[in-house]
Chains A and B, each alone.
Chain A
Amino acid sequence: MFDLVWLIPVFPLIGFLINGLIGRNFSEKTIGWIGALSVGASFVVALLIFQDLLNLAPQNRSVQKVVYTWMLSGDLNVPIGFLIDPLSMIMILVVSGVGCLIHIYSIGYMHGETGFRRFFCYLNLFVFNMLILVSSNNFLLMFVGWEGVGLCSYLLIGYYYEKKSAADAGKKAFVVNRVGDFGFLLGMFLIFTVFGTFNYGDVMSAASDKLPAGGLMVTMITLLLFVGATGKSAQIPLYTWLPDAMEGPTPVSALIHAATMVTAGVYMVARCSVLFALAPVSMTVVAVIGGATAFFAATIGMTQFDIKRVLAYSTISQLGYMFMACGVGAFASGIFHLMTHAFFKALLFLAAGSVMHAMSGELDMRKMGNLKGKLPYTHMTYLFGTLAIAGIFPFAGFFSKDEILFYSLQRHIGFWLLGAIAAVMTSFYMFRSVFMTFYGKSRVEPEAAHHLHESPPLMTVPLMILAFLSLVGGLVGIPILEGYHKFGDFLNPIFAPAKAIIDHGVHHAEHPSVAAELALMAVSVGIAVFGLLTARYMYVTDVKASDRAVERMPEFHNLVYNKYWIDELYDYLFVDSIVKFSKMLWKEFDELVIDGAVNGVGKVTRGFGSLLSYLETGLVKDYALSILFGATVVVGYLVLR
């Protein structure tokens, strides 16, 4: 089966081409199912390959397949090549599996939209690029997928292109990502300068020899790569595009801006675990940025009223957890959280989409309330997702988040504190959204209340599957009990080299006792429950409580509610000033200085004789003459000299 790995990305590409080139007269159903089944086919192939991979001995689970040589120039040799190992396998399964569910959901959700075909073309193209990103065997091909998903994200955010805010958001996403890509590119140049190749295996195996641990070079490489990751995965300082990206249709938010694309940065850092392990400074930077983002985004999440924006900030915050995990050296935990997050966050977005669907597009939670009776499936599944993200035992998020907090504490108590406080806030804002949407008094406007209806099975079945995964997804990684952390064991061959480098020379801290681990878990659950109860008090028991809280510190609330004015600051610092400066360059420098000089020369020349007064006819002649004249003078001089 390994020889067929190229089929994984190619199926969605075929779907894209069929719908794009000849799908003009297809019915909605045909288009939708072509899209969904092409991704489903990838998932099936991925499962078969997964089986083959499991049959290999753990140390042999790294298979490369080259399709053809893409770029060959001098000492540069970049193939279209794939790498199947536990890390890419997990990513492929998540992307194609969750992707397929979201495609099916979209058939129901997008029903009746004018751009139905366009939507599915873009979505398939996205899955193609995303699969290239996670399955390539070298940095450059990863970059191809990396830019490709960025493009699809741009196109899908701007799906409702007639809306200015949507078109703006798409462009912002693309440009901010390009800033990150700039760092990624430079990082790649450095990698090529040092290693002479872009192949992961070759780079990682030679890394310890060619790059002294803690050296400037490896620190620079990893920091530049991380700049790329902050762009794609919406971390400080490049996170501002993600909340705006909610302008896209909700399945897009679920697939691209929650489950898959935004995790690409985490995947990239994990893929380069050896390089990062060699650069302790970069590790610290990753952990600090991750922790800070987790905290910072959660504060904003608590104040938003738009249900999708709440989820968007929550995504940024959860991605922060993943980076923090990588930064403290717990790469496997980061990937674990990536997977569980893909389940529950896709679920939350799709459920939110289902709410929107029922509410005729309403997003403001202040105009919802008590929907649980009308939308039973949506309510149940949304609740599952919330329990998972809040980290309530035994939902998926409990296991992965707890693991991250555990390793953070081992690294430094500061990281743990950031993570734990962010966890309180997460639980609070998520349950706040549950209570505001599904419980309490109905604030639905009569017009919308009239149309309230549960979504069709095409949408609710994917919700239930994801809800099930959010419930049991964590069980592959049971801590404490030796041998039951299947997930960690599976990934172990990938991250063992990095772990060896990190542990090297460090006095090995005593492994905390089982009691300590259990205590930490209890704290985690306690935190989650505290958030839950606070939200319940403020939004169900005493609905005025939240207003009082706001009134007590209006300036602070205003600051957070307006996202700390970061967008405005960036606009002022970068956008406006460059535009102003460019205008000056054009009007003052180009047209006045350079052209002034040129025209000045022209005027002086014109003054020489009336011969040139009719320029349009005189010049070509004059031009021929002057050539002749000039040539004669020079030749004459040289010959007679």
Chain B
Amino acid sequence: MENVSYLLSLITFLPLIGIIVLLFINPQSHNTLRWITMLFMLADFVVSLCVYFQFDPTTAAMQFVENKPWIKDWGISYKLGIDGISLFLLLLTTFLGPIVVLACWEDIKVRVKEFMICLLFLQVGMIGVFVSLDLFLFYVFWEIMLIPMYLLIGVWGNPARRLYAAIKFVLYTIVGSLLMLVAILVLYFSAGKATGIYTFDLLKLYEFAIPASYQFWLFLAFFLAFAIKVPMFPFHTWLPDAHTEAPTVGSVVLAAVLLKMGTYGFIRYAIPLFPNAAMDAAWWICLLAVIGIIYGAWVAMVQTDMKRLVAFSSVSHLGFVMLGMFAMTVQGLEGSIIQMINHGLSTGALFLIVGMVYERRHTRLIAEFGGLSRVMPIFAVFFMIFTLSSIGLPGLNGFVGEFLILLGTFKVFPTYTVFAASGVIFAAVYMLWMFQRVMFGEVTNPKNEGLEDMSVREIAVLIPLLVFVVWIGVYPSTFIKPMEPSVKNFIQQVDKKKTIVQDIEKSNGQAWAAVSNIQLVTSVTVQPSDRRY
């Protein structure tokens, strides 16, 4: 807690200051607008790096905590903090900020000012979700995000179907988040009534032993909200439409960060608040995850539109994330978190790549292409590497995540793992098939003959992503080590609280009692595991 304690607020609201600055800029001076946005995004990333370097990787406790009462009478506080689980999601978000701005530098030519404001606004919401430790605050950020994303799709999207996609996206999400809001309020009031403590403070709520009957319904509401966001099969159909119709960077942000809101929500809220219900549900959630892995891969395989193909591959990849998470083993969870980062990097990059093709040809139909390798050799290299990353080739990032997930799940759900692992085969099929049809063969369509290879700007967009794709693949310890204490603590806490609730219920005791004996373990020392090679 000795960390500088305003950093998280700074990261969260720096983009907001950017918006205020943008308001005073002439909407016609596009480059000024872009540069200012870029500047704020970069500054935000730099500040988040400070957080990373000051982060204490040996503890599971919340760090950089800020806690100020906000609406005191209702127990709402402005409470921020991060641990090993949210650290890298936060970094991913700030890291992608400047990349996204650079990526849309030439792409977006109308309403540049509004677009940049949307991007910054989105950034505020996303960062806020990852750092808040108060249910009310969390919900505010969660809902804030929706507006700029809706506008990104609805205003700058593909004119033909953008409204349908935008509305579908919002409708789907609203259904879930409204249920979650109800659940939050029910939790707040019933907990308050039972214990006398009316609070939205997440860490306090963690300490309540919630009766299993309540847990079930509350978990279900949270589950729906998060499962739609992830999206889990069968709540995924908004995703292909949203992705296909959104502008390139909209898809990038959507895939890389927005989807992680759902998975993060499970780890931070749904599972630790309602451990009994969550663990009872683990088998069918994992089942849905496995179905998602295979279903997403199969449907991706037969897509004719590159972007839609990548979108369906997300369904498959996120299935892995959910599977590892609900296995509740160290490897499963760590793999799951790593896979969230991986998916952000690789799928983000793939959307950028599809975007580059689209900018040149104004079509994304696979059949329109073929033989691009000869015309665009540098592009071919980048496309290949990110394809391989997505396939999970060892040495690149995807493998580390998928392997840890499968290994961690195998101990708990061996049968599921067998089916999930078959997803590895199908991933190779759909990605390589697309790659072949777009890049290999002879140039059959004369329109592809004169395409320009990647520009310096486009290379600059992809290089940072490439660096991390290789880094995570070759030396994942950088990322696994800081999350290990939090992950271990998380598993312990969930397990402990589950047992406590069970014990109370067995002895017909008073439910809702604040469980004082759940202590947050503040320092789990990482033991160097016995090194027998």
Contact = CB atoms under 8 A, between A and B. Distances in A.
Interface stretch (A86-94, A260-268, A509-517, A580-588): A580-588
B331 A76 contact: yes
Interface size class of B (residues with CB under 8 A): 35 or more
Interface stretch (B163-171, B280-288, B514-522): B163-171
B480 A630 contact: no
Given A73-B335, A616-B154, A186 B440 contact: no
Contacts of B172: 598
B201 interface: no
B46 interface: no
A595 B241 CA distance: 11
Contacts of B400: 71
A185 B421 CA distance: 8
A162 B334 contact: no
A61 interface: no
B476 A638 contact: no
B46 to A, nearest CB: 28
A185 B406 contact: yes
Interface string B324-350: 000001110011000000000000000
A630 B186 CA distance: 13
B532 A197 contact: yes
Nearest to B377: A118
Interface stretch (A98-106, A172-180, A397-405): A172-180
B182 A77 contact: no
A144 B395 contact: yes
B417 interface: yes
A75 B529 contact: yes
B321 to A, nearest CB: 16
A337 to B, nearest CB: 29
A631 B167 contact: no
Nearest to B429: A175
Nearest to A150: B393
A616 B163 contact: yes
Contacts of B154: 616
Interface in A59-92: 64, 66, 68-77, 79, 81
Contacts of B474: 70
Contact of B476 (A71, A202, A583): A71
B374 interface: yes
Contact of B441 (A161, A630, A639): A161
B513 interface: no
Interface string A615-629: 110011001001100
Interface in B81-102: none
A57 interface: no
Interface stretch (B298-306, B357-365, B458-466): B298-306
B384 to A, nearest CB: 8
A358 B17 CA distance: 72
A74 B531 contact: no
Interface in B477-508: 477, 480-481, 484, 488
Given A72-B480, A616-B163, A585 B237 contact: no
Given A185-B421, A619-B170, A623-B174, A79 B186 contact: no
A630 B178 contact: yes
B425 A175 contact: yes
A192 B481 CA distance: 21
Contacts of A69: 477, 531
Given A164-B441, A626-B178, A638-B189, A199 B429 contact: no
A426 to B, nearest CB: 33
B266 interface: no
Interface stretch (B37-45, B110-118, B202-210, B431-439): B431-439
A4 interface: no
A167 interface: yes
Interface string B47-79: 000000000000000000000000000000000
B257 to A, nearest CB: 21
Given A144-B394, A585-B299, A73 B330 contact: yes
Contacts of A182: 421-422, 424-425
B298 A199 contact: no
Contact of A595 (B237, B329, B395): B237
Given A72-B481, A151-B388, A590 B433 contact: no
Given A70-B475, A72-B529, A189-B410, A615 B167 contact: yes
Contact of A143 (B146, B237, B329, B394): B394
A18 to B, nearest CB: 16
Q: Which of A579, A620, A635 has the most CB of B within 10 A?
A: A620
Nearest to A582: B298
Q: Which of A167, A168, A578, A583 has the most CB of B within 10 A?
A: A167
A623 B234 CA distance: 23
B234 A74 contact: no
A553 interface: no
A193 interface: yes
B36 interface: no
B409 to A, nearest CB: 9
Interface string B402-446: 011011101100100110011011001100110010011110000
B421 A74 contact: no
A581 B298 contact: yes
B527 to A, nearest CB: 11
Given A162-B442, A182-B424, A627 B484 contact: no
B222 interface: no
A331 B51 CA distance: 56
Nearest to A599: B168
B441 A631 contact: no
Nearest to A71: B476
A74 B330 contact: yes
Contacts of B399: 144, 147
A44 to B, nearest CB: 26
B185 interface: yes
B179 to A, nearest CB: 9
Nearest to A586: B299
Given A185-B424, A189-B406, A627-B181, A583 B533 contact: no
Contacts of A161: 373, 439-441
Contact of B432 (A174, A594, A639): A174
Interface string B376-395: 00000000000010000111
A454 interface: no
Contacts of A627: 143, 174, 178, 181
Given A64-B533, A585-B295, A167 B425 contact: no
A137 interface: yes
A243 interface: no
A162 B440 CA distance: 6
Contacts of A591: 237
B213 to A, nearest CB: 17
A130 to B, nearest CB: 14
A579 B394 contact: no
B102 to A, nearest CB: 23
B367 interface: no
Contacts of B146: 623
Interface string B302-320: 1100000000000000000
A137 B531 CA distance: 14
Contact of A73 (B373, B414, B429, B480): B480
A75 B529 CA distance: 7
Contact of B480 (A71, A174, A581, A583): A71
Given A185-B424, A602-B171, A634-B182, A74 B334 contact: yes
B292 interface: no
A-B pairs with the 3 shortest C-beta distances?
A74-B330, A144-B394, A582-B298
Given A147-B399, A162-B442, 5 more contacts: A72-B477, A75-B330, A162-B441, A175-B432, A185-B421
24 contacts: A69-B477, A70-B475, A70-B477, A73-B484, A74-B484, A138-B533, A140-B403, A161-B441, A175-B432, A178-B428, A181-B424, A185-B424, A189-B406, A189-B414, A192-B410, A586-B303, A594-B237, A615-B163, A626-B178, A627-B174, A627-B181, A635-B189, A638-B189, A639-B189
